Structures are given as C-alpha cells and as structure tokens.
Amino acid sequence: MSSHTISRSASIVLITAVLTLLVGAWIGSARISPPGASAQVPPATPQEEAAINRADDLSLAFQRATKIIAPSVVNITAMERDNDAGSDDPDGSDESSDDRSFPDQVNQGSGVIVREDGYIVTNSHVVADAYQIRVTLDNGRQYEAEIIDADAETDLAVIKIDERGLTAARFADSDAIEVGQWVLAVGNPFGLDHTVTAGIVSAKGRPSMGLADFGNFIQTDAAINPGNSGGPLVNLRGEIIGINNAISTRGGGNLGIGFAIPSNMANSVVQSILKTGHVVRGWLGVTFHPLTADLAKSFRYGGESGMLVSSVVVDGPAEAAGLHRGDIVSTLNGKAVGNSDQFRNLVARSVPGTTVDLSVFRLGKHRRVALTLGERPPAEEITGPRFAGPVSQRYRGFRPVSSRFIPHLLAEEITPDLAEALQLPQESGPFVAFINPSSPVAVIGLRDGDVILEFGGARIDNLDDLTEALRNYEPGTRVRVYRDGRTQVVSSD
C-alpha cells in the first residue's frame, strides 16, 4: 500500500470521526432542546412586575363589579304582534289573507332589578308594545312580567315579576361621573346571556338626538349591541350609573359609540312610578333657546353658561313667578345650567310644588327668582293652544286685524278692542306681541305688550314705519313706548 493511499485512508477515517462527533452532538442537543422550543424567559424587572400587578388589580376590580351586579341583571323577551304583517292587497280585500299565519315579533332586551320584590327597570322600547313579557334571572329561573308603566319621553319602563328576596342593584350619582372613568356594560347582546364588556365614559351630556324627549345621555365605548337595551352601565363598585339605551351603528353591531340614560334620571322615573304608578315631573312652563356666544354678547351677558327663555306659557309657573322672554337663566338651586337637556332634566327630577331658586339675568342685571314648580302636562297637551298665547294673560282673547312677522319681533296693528283694553292714547303705533330673543333688539328692553311710538327718533304709526326703522337699527337706539298706562323710553345704553 503506498503512502498516498495510507494518507488518503487516514484522512477518511479522520473526517468520519469528526462527522460522527458532530452528528452525535446535534442529536444530543436535539434531545435537550427540541426544534421550535423558546428560550428561557428572563424574570420580570421590578417595574414590569409593578405594571403586571396594577393590571391584575384592574382585572380584580372588573371581576368584583361583575359579581356585584350580575344577580340583578335579567334577560327580557317581549312578544309583540306584527301589525305590519297582513294582506298584500292594500285595501285588505284579499280573502286568502285570513288563512295566513304571521310570526310575532320578538324583542330581546335586558333589565336590572331595582327592588327585591320583583320590580325591574328596562327600556320602554323593549316592552311598551308587548302582549307577553318573559324575564330570565341570572340563575336561570323564568317568570312572566307585567308592565307597571312605560315612559316614552325617557324611554324607560318599570315591569314586575311575582317574586321576593331578589338582589336589587344600587344607583350611583350620575352627575358625579367623569369622562375617562372605567365602566362595564352588562346585558344580553344578541341573546347571549350575562355578557360583560368594559370601556370608559367617552362623553356626557349628549343631547336627545331623537332617542327620547329627555336627553343628557352618557356616551361610552363599552361594547353595547342589540339586546343590551335596558341593561345597566355600572362603575367599578357595581353601581348603576346609566341604563343602556342606544348605539350608533351602520350594520347593527357595535362601533364604539353607545348611549346610556343617566342613573339620576332613571332613578327619578323609577321612584315616581313606584310611588304613583306613573311618572310625575316638575315643570317650569317655559321653552328655552341655547345661549350662543353671539346671543350672550348681544344681551351683554358675561356668563359662561345659561339658557335663554324663548317663550313663557300662559298661566304657567314661570309666568306666575315673573319670568319674561329674553331672560337668561344661569343657575338652578345654585347649580350652573350647561345646556337645555341638562336643565330640563334637573327640573323634571324635582317634585311638583317644590320651590326652586333661579339666577336670572335681565337687562344687564342679575336677580334671584323663587319659582314654585307645577306638574308637567302630558306631552300631547304641551303643543296645544293653551301654550301658544302671549306672555301676559291681560292680552289673551284679542286677535289682530293683521299681523306681520318682522325678523326681530312679531307686531300687530292696534284693534279697537286692544286699544280699549290698553287704554291707549289717540296717537298710537304697533302693538308688540312677541320679541324674538335671538334678535339684537331684544337687548333694548322692549317687552311683550309694549306699543311702539318712536324708534330712533322716528315716529311709528304702523307696521310699515316699524319695518323701515328696524332696517336701520343700531345698538344704543332709543325707543319710546306706551307701557302700563304711561309713556317711557327704553334703550340698550
């Protein structure tokens, strides 16, 4: 055997030995660390551990709130007649329609127990038209329920089941909630029982948006879906801060914008129904106009909030207390008035007969007005003729020969009956029936019932003269009027 052959054989042996060692090492390592195994996780740093603990604490808070509210939340199934179902024949003459059977409409919603003897609050739109209501408790027991009262103006209803010893939820003060605080929405979305979603209060004081006559809704990004209606929105103590009411959606699902009726309003409605069987609300007898920056400036009002009185109901509480069109109401019982929905809710939650303290700005001066609330009439009556008259009863019953709406006010020609009632002098101008509170001339100090004699030095004999004078109106214009049996001058200066 040649040295070359020996050398080559030795090389082959050496290479084989090395490969054997490498393969053995690979097999050994594979046995210890299988392919795909993750590396060892390093221990958390003190900062990381603290963050994890804080997250766990929040989870525990969610869990505790859920355990508190869960026994009070119910599933509601409401059966309604399908009133739209029927004959394809528009005049109902299709004889075959009698043989058809149409399925009833099923409303799925939620509710929350508010008294241990079976009283439950939910949304009016869930149960108002139902002929049968079935309630399922957290423990699976089912009951038939009856409607105690359904209030369409707030979209709230109280129903009752025949049971005692139930777990009633607690109401929290919704006026005290803050934007950004954690909340949980509990209910039965899409029929999925006892579902809890978390989010924050996204906004508060949202207007009615056509959802109900009374607004001031809480907005949240906690997932609210069909079936959540009537269920509670709770804080981390498991207390009700709202009753879930509506969502903003394009396809029927949650988009992160849900609305809840504030708990203070809901509790007021519930207590009124429990006490009287129906909703009783306080009432001022006025309508309001939002106070914009331009309006505030035109009235020389320096406040940051308030509502402008745009009309006063004949024989209503506000008229009796001396409120006028053009007044700016800035506080109610010391609480600032932020918007019309908030103000209406504060009044509605008050008991009729209660005397409230109003801060009113009128003609450059602040004054206090004590007003005894009346009971709010039914919604259908508020738009009736009784509420369309002028401010003072003194002028009711008189009808103008002609009238003309001028952008700043409603003025009427003097009729013989009106002249006699006002004891007018022979020379007299148009009678002011209504001052538009949104108009700059409202700051002059004109009142309903004034008779305008001169405007900016120009004599006013009729509506044409007044129309021309108003075209040339400037702040500081002086107006001579006949008021309360004498002539006087009013001005914005």
Residue 313's pLDDT is: 80
Residue 127's pLDDT is: 94
How far apart, in whole angstroms, are the C-alpha atoms of residue 376 and residue 352?
Answer: 8
- Phi and psi, residue 480, nearest 5°: -100, 130
Nearest to 236 by CA among 80, 69, 391: 69
Reported as a pLDDT band with limits 50, 70 and 90, residue 14 is: very low
Residue 386 to residues 308, 310, 320, 382, 472, Cα–Cα distance (Å): 21, 16, 15, 8, 36
Average pLDDT over residues 173-185: 95
Residue 17's pLDDT is: 52
How far apart, in whole angstroms, are the C-alpha atoms of residue 194 and residue 199?
Answer: 17
Dihedral sign of CA atoms 375, 376, 382, 388 in order: positive
**Architecture in CATH for domain 174-276:** Beta Barrel (2.40)
Reported as a pLDDT band with limits 50, 70 and 90, residue 13 is: very low
Name the CATH superfamily for 282-387: PDZ domain (2.30.42.10)
Reported as a pLDDT band with limits 50, 70 and 90, residue 3 is: very low
How far apart, in whole angstroms, are the C-alpha atoms of residue 428 and residue 411?
Answer: 13
Percent share of the chain, pLDDT over 70: 73
Residue 393's pLDDT is: 36
User: What are 412's two structure tokens?
Assistant: 């009427």
Same fold, 282-387 and 393-491: yes
Nearest to 124 by CA among 273, 335, 285: 273
pLDDT above 60 for 18: no
Average pLDDT over residues 142-164: 94
Reported as a pLDDT band with limits 50, 70 and 90, residue 75 is: very high
Residue 174's pLDDT is: 93
Q: Encode pLDDT of 447-480 as tens digits.
A: 777 888 888 888 888 888 888 888 777 777 888 8
**Cut 0.75: pTM above it:** no
Instruction: Specify whether the CB–CB gap between 217 and 259 falls below 8 A.
Output: yes
Reported as a pLDDT band with limits 50, 70 and 90, residue 24 is: low
pLDDT above 70 for 164: yes
Instruction: Specify whether the CB–CB gap between 155 and 209 falls below 8 A.
Output: no
Residue 413's pLDDT is: 74
pLDDT above 70 for 162: yes
Question: Helix axis angle, 263-276 relative to 340-348, nearest 10°?
Answer: 30
Instruction: Specify whether the CB–CB gap between 386 and 447 falls below 8 A.
Output: no
CATH class of 393-491: mainly beta
Instruction: Specify whether the CB–CB gap between 72 and 167 falls below 8 A.
Output: yes
- Phi and psi, residue 167, nearest 5°: -95, 110
How far apart, in whole angstroms, are the C-alpha atoms of residue 217 and residue 345?
Answer: 11
Residue 222's pLDDT is: 92
User: Which residues form the catalytic set?
Assistant: 125, 155, 229
Residue 218's pLDDT is: 93
Average pLDDT over residues 51-61: 91
Residue 18 to residues 13, 21, 367, Cα–Cα distance (Å): 9, 5, 103
Residue 126's pLDDT is: 93
User: What are 238's two structure tokens?
Assistant: 């498991």
pLDDT above 80 for 99: no
pLDDT above 90 for 349: no
Reported as a pLDDT band with limits 50, 70 and 90, residue 437 is: low
Reported as a pLDDT band with limits 50, 70 and 90, residue 195 is: very high
- Strand 282-283 with 258-262, pairing: unpaired
Mean pLDDT taken over the chain: 79
How far apart, in whole angstroms, are the C-alpha atoms of residue 72 and residue 70?
Answer: 5
Domain ranges of the chain: 174-276, 282-387, 393-491
pLDDT above 80 for 431: no
Average pLDDT over residues 106-128: 94
Average pLDDT over residues 14-28: 49
Residue 412's pLDDT is: 73
Residue 118's pLDDT is: 96
Q: Encode pLDDT of 264-306 as tens digits.
A: 999 999 999 999 998 888 998 887 777 777 777 767 788 778 8
Percent share of the chain, pLDDT over 90: 33
Beta-carbon contacts of residue 153 (< 8 Å; ≥ 6 apart): 212, 213, 214, 279, 379
Average pLDDT over residues 338-353: 82
Dihedral sign of CA atoms 246, 247, 250, 253 in order: negative
Average pLDDT over residues 250-259: 73
DSSP assignments along 106-126, one per residue: EEEEEEEEEETTTEEEE-HHH
Residue 113's pLDDT is: 97
